[in-house]
Amino acid sequence: MDEQVRTIEALHRRYAGVLYDKCIRMLGDRAEAEDAVQETFVGAFRALSTYRESERGHLPWLYRIATNACLKILRTRRRKGAEPLGDREPAAIQNPERALQAHQALERLCREVDQRTMEILVAHYIDGIDQGSIAEHLGISRRAVVKRLSAVRGKAELLLQGGGR
């Protein structure tokens, strides 16, 4: 147990800032991003015994946990009809209407597509990870990633334009 605690503490020191940046891009709210990062490390602690070391290290694994934590917050937010209370990220302040529209579209997509597809969308469009790396990390073919992205791209664009209500 002490070894697990030391490992999580080391991962937190190394990756908390990167994960916070990722979460704020997804959520647009600092308080919710902090909660998501905390949930990420709680989830990582619980799953540490099942983690299999890879040549790419812990970050892809933590990114996946963080993505799921953010998606859970987005689903909960939408279900409760709540808007985040914390400070908005700088990009949202510069164009608040576009930022709100993007977050609403992401929340709607969370309800309309499966978990794996959301992970792929977030990894590609929010985190900027290439399709080959996503496929490798998720253990699926690149073609499967491309097909999922293509299938939902039109829906996402329609939502971003304010349609599809």
Q: What is the pLDDT of residues 66-84, one digit of tens each?
A: 999 998 888 887 665 555 4
Is residue 114 domain-resident?
Answer: yes
Residue 34: pLDDT above 50? yes
Q: For the segment 83-124, what is each residue's pLDDT rounded down to a tens digit?
A: 544 444 444 445 566 666 666 777 777 778 888 888 888 888
Is residue 124 domain-resident?
Answer: yes
Is residue 108 domain-resident?
Answer: yes
Give the number of other Cβ atoms within 10 Å of residue 3's Cβ.
8
Mean pLDDT of 36-62: 87
**CATH number where 143 lies:** 1.20.140
Least confident of 7-11, 52-56, 59-63, 151-155: 52-56
* Residues of the domain holding 137: 2-160
Cβ–Cβ < 8 Å for 67, 53:
no
Is residue 140 domain-resident?
Answer: yes
The whole-number pLDDT of residue 80 equals 56
Is residue 112 domain-resident?
Answer: yes
Is residue 165 domain-resident?
Answer: no
Tokens of 1: 């147990």
CA dist., res. 136 & res. 93, Å (int): 36
Tokens of 9: 């503490």
Using CA atoms of 75, 73, 149, 51 in order, give the dihedral in degrees to the nearest 10.
-130
Is residue 45 domain-resident?
Answer: yes
How many independent structural domains does the chain possess? 1
Tokens of 72: 């859970």
